[in-house]
Amino acid sequence: MSEQESMAVGGQAVIEGVMMRGTDRIAIAVRRPNGTIALKTSPFLSIVKRWKFLNIPVFRGAVILIETLFLGVRALTFSGDVAMEEEKKASGVQKGKSKWDDIWMGVTILFSLALGIAFFFYLPLVLTDLLGLKTGWGFNLVDGLIRLILFLAYIYVISLWKEIRRVFEYHGAEHKSIFAHEGHCELVPASARPFKTLHPRCGTSFLLIVMVVSIVVFMFLGKPETIADRMIRLAFVPVIGGISYELIKLSAKAYKYRFLRFFIVPGLWLQKITTKEPDDAQLEVAMVALKSALGMDPYVGPSQVELVSGEV
């Protein structure tokens, strides 16, 4: 596998498991309560690869973010269903997939986007407006600082939940497994164990970049005086996401050069909250997902792997 293909591999922690995306496949591995690993995998080609006109720098970032959010919600839904299997069997409830599941997922994604924009972009705007700042640069600087504080507070608060800590451990397992893959190591838990849990292409680092980029972009828009001005700022959120996507891609290359690592250190620091050291069982789950996403034999450890039908 070429270096470019190797760097294209990414993932996401879910409930008691990990989702991994390869160049042409996607896989979700989840630890069942009985100790086996449920694995769902399917071919996957990003929309920006299928429709070349969407693969334009900055613009492609906004498209990929929406696509990633959609896949993330589906992965979390699957992992939640696996976690609830025993309870459903005990209660005798058996639910098949229907068209309403897709509709509900669409509503969930739209609501998540709206809630995120309202909390991290519109609320700081309202709070800053209450301070009565006159200059555009001063307004946008304070607006950005409030947004950053809200983001950091949110990360810290959710990290206090016991259930979220388990997800953060799988997050660490995801990073260690990807490091092992990028280092051309054997894809087994023992190979991933020595690596750090902090990865330059992490979504946590991406979100921090979004917070910083938003300050710079909004500086050019000046102080919002009217409702229309505020709506214009919100319309620039996809642009901010697109720019941040390009920067997070560059950060993986910058990590190789000592003099450029300064710029990605804040994101790595923040990952000390969102990633925790995994155990070997969690590394096994991450490796099963990774190998499956790469089109390889997913069996890496003692646990039984059970394939689940259906697309990811």
Indicate the pairing of strand 25-31 with strand 37-43: antiparallel
pTM beyond 0.85:
yes
- Cβ burial of 292 (10 Å; 0-12, 13-18, 19+) is buried
What is the pLDDT at residue 2?
45
| 112-132 residue pLDDT tens | 788 888 888 889 998 999 888
Torsion angle in degrees (nearest 10) through CA of 279, 282, 271, 184: 100
Average pLDDT over residues 34-38: 92
**26 within 8 A of 71, measured Cβ to Cβ:** yes
Torsion angle in degrees (nearest 10) through CA of 111, 114, 120, 126: -130
If one compares 221 and 112, the residue with the highest pLDDT of the two is: 221
Instruction: Give the Å distances, CA to CA, from 217 to 24, 34, 133, 238.
Output: 34, 50, 18, 11
What is the pLDDT at residue 70?
86
Mean pLDDT of the chain: 86
213, pLDDT greater than 50:
yes
What is the pLDDT at residue 3?
47
Average pLDDT over residues 75-90: 78
Average pLDDT over residues 200-220: 89
What is the pLDDT at residue 98?
59
> Of 53-67, 212-226, 233-247, 282-296, which one has max mean pLDDT?
282-296
What is the pLDDT at residue 257?
65
Give the Cα separation of 174 and 170 in Å (integer). 6
255, pLDDT greater than 70:
no
What is the pLDDT at residue 143?
93
Average pLDDT over residues 210-230: 90
Residues in CB range of 230: below 8 A, 6 or more apart: 122, 125, 224
What is the pLDDT at residue 300?
80
What is the DSSP code string of 196-207?
-S--TT-HHHHH
Average pLDDT over residues 135-155: 92
